[in-house]
Amino acid sequence: MPATIFDSLVFRDIFTTEAMRAVFSDENRVQKYLDFEAALARAEAGLGLIPKDAAAEIVTHCSVGKMDFAKLKEATEKIGAPVLPVTKQLTALCKDRHGEWVHWGATTQDVTDTATVLQIKEALALVETEIDAICDALAVLAKKYRDTPMAGRSKLQQAVPVTFGYKMATLLAAFGRHKQRLAELRPRVLVGEFGGAAGTLSSLGKDGLKVQAALMQELGLGVPDITWHTVRDGFAEVGCFLGLVTGSCGKIALDVKLLMQTEVGEVSEPAGEGRGSSSTMPQKRNPISSVYITAQTAIVKQYVATLLEAQVEDHERGTGPWEIEWIVLPEIFMLAAGALKQTRTILEGIEVNEKRMRENLDITNGLIMSEAVMMGLGQAMGRDTAHHRVSDIGKQAAKTGQPLIDLLADDTEIAKYADRRKLEELMDPANYLGVAGEMVDRVLAARKK
């Protein structure tokens, strides 16, 4: 009976994806063990270290469909690691004693680590696909709303105007950096493991490095400079990368939740039959995807910290920290996949209320334009003088509810430097967007490159 959200018939496609679950399934993991054994046999046969007919026989049986999982479970519980039970079954499947050449010169951790790297390779391809889709959606929004003014917010308070396109472009730039990080980490992380008992490949004598290179070529992985049995920075790095990616997803989710508030109402998650409905309040339209993302990213952060703990391993083969990775690395990837999927759902279907954005720029009766007025007057009055004067008048506007423009226009001191027409020009949000548009263009241009 399914017990976790990843296997639950109800929750599994909310918190992760079918594709990512398949990558870290028992079947795929065991197949990766067998892929290692087949590649090792081919590499060693090619170097003349084991008979070619033995290698051919071994490769014939390196299919997960030939494994008895009930026996694998029972043997793994006794032995404490899952590879030896696989190699024993593989050996038994081979005829004419060819099975004696299975796993030649390897150790359990070589197989396990390399299989995990192969899983990571598949998983990162899925992550990249989602990042690309998110970038596409953000680019569309940044371009479409390049010049759509809205309130920029500082410490949850209205600050100065920005544009919705600018807001989207800041996120697009972040996901562009994630693409760069992914490209940079792949050569460091997608490196196989083959070192033998204590990492020195002593079981293969002088042929160890030749076998290692041939094995990695067979598997399509990088060749390690040196064995990394208990030096786990590669797996830690990929975990941290996913922490960064999901952190950006969490940022999007938080902003969407805040902008969906009734009192704000500037964006909404995608609509759908019954989506976000309340069991008792008919008028409600709740955030859905952003709520899931918040939960997913919070857990990923904690798992990343746990994964970092797995770096602290003893001597040349560890006693426990290694197994931490077995638990948290698949879950980090699965939660990240779910967060990316939910983020993509939001961005591809987000509903933008431009009218409400414009209305919200006016709810302070012009106070959001205080800096614009201060900077405009400061050229003639001096910045500090203008700051104090606009601040005092702004407090009066906030207290009385009078429009800031009226109080500014009635002030005799300010009248010396700006008439009402000039003040209205200063207080038009469209005139105080700085270089937001140019920044959006720059991000979009960088994406095309």
Which sequence positions are flagged as catalytic? Answer: 278, 317
Strand segments (E) across 307-387 = 351-352
Strand partners, 430: none
Asked if 181 and 393 count as a contact pair (C-beta separation under 8 A), the reply is no
Asked if 265 and 356 count as a contact pair (C-beta separation under 8 A), the reply is yes
Alpha-carbon distance of 399 to 201, in angstroms, equals 79
Q: Identity (one letter) of the amino acid at 400?
A: T
Alpha-carbon distance of 355 to 406, in angstroms, equals 24
Q: At what angle do helices 108-144 and 164-189 cross, to 10 degrees?
A: 160
* Terminal-residue alpha carbon distance, the chain: 49
Alpha-carbon distance of 434 to 239, in angstroms, equals 38
Query: What's the number of CA atoms in the CB half-sphere (13 Å) around residue 434?
Result: 14
Asked if 118 and 329 count as a contact pair (C-beta separation under 8 A), the reply is no
Q: Give residue 296's region: left, alpha or beta (phi > 0; psi -120 to 50).
A: alpha
Alpha-carbon distance of 253 to 337, in angstroms, equals 15
Q: Which H/E stretch holds residue 444?
A: helix 436-448
222 in helix, strand or coil? Answer: strand
Nearest to 356 by CA among 264, 447, 258: 264
